[in-house]
């Protein structure tokens, strides 16, 4: 239910933008140019299914073309509308700027409940939507590059890539027209897990600075921290899995569409995921308490709250009751502008969406570069790197023998050191570096400017400054 005073998603993004630009020295003209959405294309098309023509409505919105191609996912959901895709496109502009992915911002959506159609029908609908967008250059390797979002994944991206290639038979870069493709159709290792992985890297960086943890009244590392996750889709699942399996975090709550699971001793993320795919929801999962009213679990005590589902779930009606001292926005826009004010007032630390979920577009960037270079990362240097490491190990071995074998290299060290990096390792390294550097740029603004008291404003300041610099360089 929406609060009467709650602004729309796009208005919410604008309010947050306005709060940041008030602290900047941009000319009013440039400020307006950056804020507005450049264009939104609405398409209605018919597909004959089950003997009848079904009409679908889709959108592709381009927020800013200060860099091209513009980038952003395509969402399949029944609630898709123009306001939403415009808000999401704006967030893409800022997200790409913040993590230095050289793209403008865009977003698409199709108003559809994908669960109501079988695979063959979805393929026909997707190909038709892709055709409508591609013929207007709204799918194009150098102009507009979509990716997965809610309700879409590798499968849809493969159909889109194939549809574009059929329409552009002589384009040698056709495969770069969309990212998030399966590995065997031009994708990159680590793209599926990328957004969840990015959430993990973001939290690790947050916990590296005691000043930041102290702001949230926390201390130490991620080990033993109690986490509640809303939404066990691609992003929530991977974030929860990595945090619990690799960082020692305890997943005490999982909120899904049919209620929430709660267990203070920790939930087994893999087991919950398997239960959901078998039973269609979390209800009946053993080893946990089930709450019918899932949203109420957002208000439970925990150290870290990860909204990884829809926008607007933390709003004027529940913000005051949120107890988590740290929220990381794995979804886009889960906290409304009004809720953000309330939480800031309470001292809740929010790691904002435009940074927290930027892992997806970061690895999309790597995929696009891989597609344009037509070669897998690591293919040229991996064995050469291994050969050079072997030289060092052999030499050390000789020295050790000459010294009477008082010290020998352990097998574990040799194994780790000798292996040249493969594509997945390179992708993870590039993602980790990106997430650290972007966080540090926000952190500097947060701690060093006296007039910024939250990470979201810091993120907007860094991002808007970069977009403004691009426009200025163009002479606009
Ligand atoms: N849909 C994702 C997002 O919101 C990924 C976009 C992309 O990879 O281009 O960031």
Task: Say if residue 310 is in the same domain as residue 413.
Answer: no
Residue 370 falls inside a structural domain = no
Q: Is residue 24 included in any domain, yes or no?
A: no
**Mean local confidence (pLDDT), 451-471:** 97
239 and 341 co-located in one domain = yes
Q: Using CA atoms, how far apart are residues 179 and 368, in angstroms rounded to an integer? A: 7
Structure tokens at 15: 């309010």
Query: pLDDT band at 4, cuts 50/70/90?
Result: low
What number does the ligand 1 atom closest to the CA of 332 have? 4
Query: Quick check: CB of 325 below 6 Å from ligand 1?
Result: no
Judgement on whether residues 255 and 313 belong to the same structural domain of the protein: yes
364 lines ligand 1 (CB under 6 A): yes
408: pLDDT confidence band, cut at 50, 70 and 90?
confident
Q: Quick check: is 367 in a domain? A: no
Is residue 26 assigned to a domain? no
Range(s) of the domain holding residue 131: 37-187
Nearest-atom number in ligand 1 for the CA of 357 is 10
Tokens representing residue 392 in the block: 């060092």
Best of 70, 139, 147 for a ligand 1 pocket test (most atoms within 8 Å of beta carbon): 147
Q: Would you say the CB of residue 73 lies under 6 angstroms from ligand 1?
A: yes
Decide if 435 contacts 27 (C-beta within 8 A). no
Identify whether residues 198 and 304 lie together within a single domain.
yes
Give the Å distance between the CA of 62 and the centre of ligand 1.
14
Query: Confidence band (pLDDT; 50, 70, 90) for 407?
Result: confident
Q: Within a domain: residue 19? A: no
CB 228 within 8 A of CB 306: yes
| Residue 46 sits in the same domain as residue 182 | yes
CA 191 from centre of chain: 10
Question: At residue 52, what are phi and psi to the nearest 5 degrees?
Answer: -135, 155
- Atom 9 of ligand 1, residue of closest alpha carbon: 72
pLDDT at 381: 94
Helices (H), 281-358: 337-346, 353-356
Beta-sheet pairing, 70-71 with 144-145: parallel
pLDDT digits (tens, 9 = 90+) for 293-344: 999 999 999 999 999 999 999 999 999 999 999 999 999 999 999 999 999 9
How far is the centre of ligand 1, averaged over its atoms, from the C-alpha of 97 (Å)? 13
Ligand 1 atom nearest the C-alpha of 364 is 8
Tell me, what CATH number does 299's domain have? 3.40.50.720
Given a contact cutoff of 8 angstroms between Cβ atoms, the answer to whether 428 and 415 are in contact is no
Q: Are residues 183 and 213 in the same domain?
A: no
Atom of ligand 1 nearest to the CA of 179: 8
Ligand 1 and 109: CB distance under 6 A: no
Q: Measure 155 CA to ligand 1 centroid, in angstroms.
A: 16
Q: Are residues 211 and 278 in the same domain?
A: yes
Nearest CA-CA partner of 358 in 230, 215, 207, 462: 462
Tens digits of per-residue pLDDT, 68-117? 999 999 999 999 999 999 999 999 999 999 999 999 999 999 999 999 99
Q: Is the CB–ligand 1 distance for residue 360 below 6 Å?
A: yes
Does a structural domain hold residue 323? Answer: yes
**Contact yes or no for 252/302 (Cβ under 8 A):** yes
Does ligand 1 come within 6 angstroms of the Cβ of 71? yes
Lowest-pLDDT choice from 161-165, 300-304, 356-360, 418-422? 418-422
Each residue of 334-357: b (16+ CB within 10 Å) or e? bbbbbbbebbbeeebbbbbbbbbb
* CATH number of the domain bearing residue 171: 3.40.50.10860
Strands (E), 16-128: 39-49, 52-64, 70-71, 74-77, 104-111
3-class DSSP assignment, residue 473? helix
Q: What are phi and psi of 467, to 5 degrees?
A: -65, -45
Closest C-alpha to 348, from 304, 412, 316: 304
Residue 72 Cα: closest atom of ligand 1: 9
Q: 350 lies in a domain?
A: yes
With a 6 Å cutoff on the Cβ, whether 357 touches ligand 1 is yes
**Whether 380 contacts 356, CB under 8 Å:** no
The answer, yes or no, to whether residue 12 has pLDDT greater than 90, is yes
Q: Does 385 lie in the same domain as 333?
A: no
Query: What integer is the mean pLDDT of 269-278?
Result: 98
Query: pLDDT tens-digit profile of 19-78?
Result: 999 999 999 999 999 999 999 999 999 999 999 999 999 999 999 999 999 999 999 999
Is residue 160 packed enough to be buried (19+ CB in 10 Å), middle (13-18) or exposed (0-12)? buried
The predicted structure's pLDDT at residue 406 = 80
pLDDT > 70? residue 2: no
176 with 45, same domain? Answer: yes
Total residue length of the chain: 476
Which ligand 1 atom sits closest to the C-alpha of 146? 9
Task: Tell me the CA–centroid distance for residue 361 and ligand 1, in Å.
Answer: 5
User: How many angstroms does the Cα of residue 188 sit away from the middle of ligand 1?
Assistant: 15
Q: How far apart are CA 334 and CA 320, in angstroms?
A: 15
Cα of 322 vs centre of ligand 1, distance in Å, is 27
Q: What's the gap in Å between 218 CA and the centre of ligand 1?
A: 30
Average pLDDT over residues 241-251: 98
Residue 24, classed as helix, strand or coil, is coil
Q: Is the pLDDT of residue 1 over 60?
A: no
Q: Judge if 243 and 331 occupy the same domain.
A: yes
Is 267 inside a domain boundary?
yes
Any atom of ligand 1 within 6 Å of the Cβ of 348 = no
Q: Is the CB of 151 under 6 A from ligand 1?
A: no
User: From the alpha carbon of 358, which atom of ligand 1 is closest?
Assistant: 10
Look at the chain and report how many structural domains it folds into: 3
Please tell me whether residues 274 and 149 are part of one structural domain.
no
Gap from CA of 147 to ligand 1 centroid (Å):
6
Looking at the fold, whether 204 and 166 belong to one and the same domain comes out as no
Which three-class secondary structure state does DSSP give residue 1?
A: coil
Is any ligand 1 atom within 6 A of the Cβ of residue 204?
Answer: no
CA 33 and chain centroid, separation: 25
The predicted pLDDT at position 210 comes to 97
**List 107, 181, 225, 370, catalytic entry:** 107
Active-site annotation holds for 416: no
> 350: Cβ below 6 Å to ligand 1?
no
CA of 370 to the centre of ligand 1 (A): 17
What pLDDT is attached to residue 3? 67
Q: What is the pLDDT of residues 129-180, one digit of tens each?
A: 999 999 999 999 999 999 999 999 999 999 999 999 999 999 999 999 999 9
**SS3 state of residue 107:** strand
**Ligand 1 centroid, distance to 384 Cα (angstroms):** 34
- Do residues 225 and 251 touch, judged by C-beta distance below 8 A? no
Pocket perturbation via mutation, ligand 1, pick of 76, 107, 149, 177 by most ligand atoms within 8 A of CB: 149
| H helices present in 135-233, as ranges | 154-167, 194-208, 210-215
Q: Does the reported pTM lie above 0.85? A: yes
Query: pLDDT band at residue 118, thresholds of 50, 70 and 90?
Result: very high
């Amino acid at each position: 239910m929406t609060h009467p005073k709650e602004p729309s998603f796009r208005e919410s993004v604008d309010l947050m933008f306005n709060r940041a630009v008030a602290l900047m020295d941009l000319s009013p003209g440039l400020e307006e140019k950056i804020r507005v959405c450049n264009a939104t294309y609405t398409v209605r098309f018919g597909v004959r299914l089950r003997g009848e023509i079904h009409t679908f409505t889709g959108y592709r919105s381009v927020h800013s073309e200060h860099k091209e191609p513009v980038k952003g996912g395509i969402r399949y959901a029944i609630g898709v509308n123009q306001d939403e895709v415009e808000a999401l496109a704006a967030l893409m502009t800022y997200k790409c700027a913040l993590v230095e992915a050289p793209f403008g911002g865009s977003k698409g959506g199709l108003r559809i409940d994908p669960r109501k159609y079988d695979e063959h029908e979805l393929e026909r609908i997707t190909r038709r939507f892709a055709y409508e967008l591609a013929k207007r250059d709204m799918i194009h390797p150098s102009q507009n590059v979509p990716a997965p979002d809610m309700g879409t994944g590798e499968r849809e991206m493969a159909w889109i890539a194939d549809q574009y290639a059929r329409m552009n038979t002589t384009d040698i870069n056709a495969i770069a027209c969309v990212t998030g493709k399966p590995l065997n159709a031009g994708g990159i290792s680590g793209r599926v897990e990328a957004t969840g992985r990015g959430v993990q890297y973001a939290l690790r960086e947050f916990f590296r600075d005691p000043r930041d943890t102290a702001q949230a009244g926390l201390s130490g590392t991620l080990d033993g921290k109690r986490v509640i996750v809303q939404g066990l889709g691609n992003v929530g699942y991977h974030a929860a899995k990595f945090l619990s399996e690799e960082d020692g975090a305890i997943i005490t709550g999982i909120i899904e569409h049919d209620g929430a699971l709660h267990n203070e001793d920790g939930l087994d993320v893999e087991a919950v995921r398997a239960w959901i795919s078998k039973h269609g929801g979390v209800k009946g999962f053993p080893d946990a308490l089930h709450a019918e009213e899932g949203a109420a679990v957002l208000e439970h005590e925990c150290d870290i709250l990860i909204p990884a589902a829809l926008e607007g779930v933390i709003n004027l009606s529940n913000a005051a009751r949120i107890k988590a001292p740290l929220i990381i926005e794995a979804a886009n826009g889960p906290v409304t502008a009004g809720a953000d004010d309330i939480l800031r007032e309470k001292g809740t630390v929010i790691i904002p969406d435009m940074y927290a979920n930027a892992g997806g577009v970061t690895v999309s960037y790597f995929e696009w570069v891989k597609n344009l270079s037509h070669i897998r990362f690591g293919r040229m240097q991996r064995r050469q790197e291994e050969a050079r490491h072997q030289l060092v190990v052999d030499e050390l071995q000789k020295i050790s023998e000459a010294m009477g074998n008082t010290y020998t290299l352990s097998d574990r060290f040799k194994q780790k050191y000798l292996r040249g990096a493969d594509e997945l390792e390179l992708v993870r390294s590039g993602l980790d570096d990106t997430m650290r550097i972007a966080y540090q740029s926000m952190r500097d603004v947060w701690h060093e400017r006296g007039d910024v008291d939250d990470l979201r404003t810091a993120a907007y300041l860094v991002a808007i400054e970069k977009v403004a610099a691009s426009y200025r360089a163009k002479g606009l």
